[in-house]
Amino acid sequence: MKKYACLLFFALLLNGCDDGDLTVDSVNFDSVTPQSCDTINRLIYKLKSQESLLLQLPPNSIKNDVTVPGTPIIYNIDSNGNGSYRFLYRAYDGTVATANICGTIPPKTPNVTQEWVAISGQIVIISTQDFETDATTGATKITGYTHNINLKNVTFSKPSGIDQVQEDFPFGNFTTKLLNPVAISFTDTNAGYCEIAKKIYNDNGTSAVIIKNFDDTLIKNEVTPPGQPRTRVINATATTNNVTYETYAGTLPDKTSDYFCAGQTSSPPVNSTWVANTGSSTNQTGIIEVTTTEETNVFRHKVVLRSTTFQKGNSTFTPGTTFLIGTFTTSK
């Protein structure tokens, strides 16, 4: 009996010896934040001291836009673990760092001691926008997006030869920050006016808010009664009273009337276009307001947007409860 007890104790000692390798039965990275190797998010990863989770995607598969509720973005993991959409788990014989994952020439150590390769399943992504709200004006600024990544019905091919299936594998929230947050910011209160092209605009050199195709009765050389501006409802789909916010891939010319009034040229090109949603006179949303006063030889028109929401794709922001586009004058 003593002989068998000694043999059992010796076996336990052998199994308890730590040779630096990590033996894994289950994977848990719930407390680890996902990171990316580059700005186009080709490889998103999570690291623990001797473990990594690797999610490989084609460039720009992570979309900086809000997903429609109930309609996430879904990618299928490539069969046999090869292709554009891959998901892997790795264990190492030492401490693993970002350089081991993202380095052009990865360090020789640590060595991979175990690898699980996903051979089927789906990558499910739900994206929401991150924004800041001005407590005074109500204006919002889109600063980035949070992408909740979940893997469904994943089958791992393991070194043991026995596949492991996980119905639900939460990868976590991956955030992308916008280099140029989306918000309207102008310091000049002088608006531009294109009488023939029917445009009113203001810009800061690299972006502009533009009222296009305003109807003929919006701008009149008539003083408006106090507290009673002329109003028109913004219309996103009709041919009149359209409002857009545009950003440009370059700097606008000093004489912006040449750009906006003479038929927009191709330089600088438009980088992005946000369209103001159709308003409602009942709810007092999406309203163009014009207040006209009389001065020597001119009429001055003050143009304001009230409770306006701009949209591109599924992302939205507002310049605030009231937003001054600016003022301009017309001759008597």
pLDDT in tens, 246-278: 999 999 999 999 899 987 677 899 999 999 999
* Two tokens, residue 133: 């709200």
pLDDT at 264: 63
Q: Per-residue pLDDT tens for 215-228?
A: 989 999 999 999 99
The burial of 220, by beta-carbon neighbours within 10 Å (0-12 exposed, 13-18 middle, 19 or more buried), is given as: middle
Beta bridge partners of 155: 120, 165
CA distance 284 to 24: 60
pLDDT at 13: 33
- Please state the three-class secondary structure of 90-127 as a single string: EEECCCCCHHHHHCCCCCCCCCEEEEEEEEEEEEEEEE
Beta strands in the chain (DSSP E): 35-36, 43-48, 51-56, 73-76, 86-92, 112-133, 140-157, 164-182, 192-194, 199-203, 207-212, 230-233, 242-248, 270-276, 287-295, 298-306, 310-312, 315-317, 322-331
Q: For strands 207-212 and 230-233, give the pairing.
A: unpaired
CA distance 299 to 284: 26
The burial of 57, by beta-carbon neighbours within 10 Å (0-12 exposed, 13-18 middle, 19 or more buried), is given as: buried
pLDDT at 25: 63
pLDDT at 307: 98
CA distance 227 to 219: 17
Q: Of 137, 122, 118, 124, which Cα lies nearest the Cα of 27? A: 118
| Residue pair 124/71 in contact by the 8 Å Cβ criterion | no
CA distance 297 to 188: 23
CA distance 95 to 293: 72
Q: Does pTM top 0.85 for this prediction?
A: yes
| Residue pair 212/199 in contact by the 8 Å Cβ criterion | yes
256 to 70, 112, 251, 275, 276: CA distances (angstroms): 44, 60, 10, 21, 22
pLDDT < 50: residue spans in the chain: 1-23
| Residue pair 287/233 in contact by the 8 Å Cβ criterion | yes
CA distance 133 to 139: 6
Cα distance between the two ends of the chain: 115
